[in-house]
Amino acid sequence: MLTTGTRLLDVANEHRFAVPAFNISDWAMCQGIFEISEEKAAPLIVAIHPDELAHVGVDFMPSVIQRAHRSSVPVAIHIDHGTTYRHILLAIQTGFTSAMIDGSMLPFEENIALTKRAVEAAHAVGLSVEGELGTIGTTDADSEAGAKKIVYTDPDDAVRFIEETGVDSLAIAIGTCHGIYPSWMKPEIKLDLLRDIKAKVDVPLVLHGGSSNPDAEIAESVRLGINKINISSDIKVSYHRAMREVLRDEGLREPLSIQPACVAAMKVTAAEKIDLFEADGKAALY
């Protein structure tokens, strides 16, 4: 069933698990993510970044929406890291049920103003809104945009931000980065900061840059109150690594011969994330 981000995350917040938000950028990936979520009876957020939407085209969206309506698990369709008011309008016009407005690179007051405007527009037509406070790092040029230096979320600023904008959930900066960490870079989540933020706010909290972090840290972040975790790089690495292996056979040309192994590899990674986030079987709560 198709639902909103608020509906998914409020239940996750109450029952202390995290809903996976898997970024997809083609139909085979989309089908595979639906399949593994249904096999695991896990709620699902299908996340599509504006760059991914530009790649697949807006005519892709009706198929995703119809697939969500037919799903046996609750599904929200989420525009990920919209950075402009226009991105929010695009989400509304193309059938998304959840939207992220990312003003984290702006000064604090400007972030509040942009996010508040996005919330007013989205709430008027029933979309839920995720804001972001603090900056997520980035590891390479192929990952989503991020800051060169992480600016951690201040708990008191988070309280004010939520009160003044009316966001339904908040992405916080506690030490993660977009992309796959290089070998010399040691990821570390500030779990004490997460604990402090969770003690002060009531809305569900979101973790971006969830790929490549140690499983133990991710699991603890869920126990401490993270309710949505974005996964993009990890599933794409699995998908395309398998594709490179398959394409060593230069005689293959049909997608039906090439893509099933890629989707299967991606589903293994996605299933591991669903289990790690304690989302398996949680569709029964909705």
Q: Alpha helix (H) ranges present in the chain?
A: 5-15, 27-39, 50-56, 61-70, 85-94, 108-124, 155-165, 191-200, 215-223, 233-246, 255-276
Residue 80, sorted as left (phi over 0), alpha (psi -120 to 50) or beta, turns out to be: beta
Cβ-contact 221, 277 below 8 angstroms: no
CA distance 174 to 192: 9
Q: Which of 39, 18, 32 is nearest to 236 (CA)?
A: 32
For 140, the token pair is 């390479």
CA distance 170 to 158: 8
Q: Which of 26, 80, 202, 215 is catalytic?
A: 80
47, β-bridge pairs: 23, 78
**DSSP 8-state symbol, 213:** S
Residue 57, sorted as left (phi over 0), alpha (psi -120 to 50) or beta, turns out to be: left
Confirm whether 10 is a catalytic residue.
no
Catalytic residues: 80
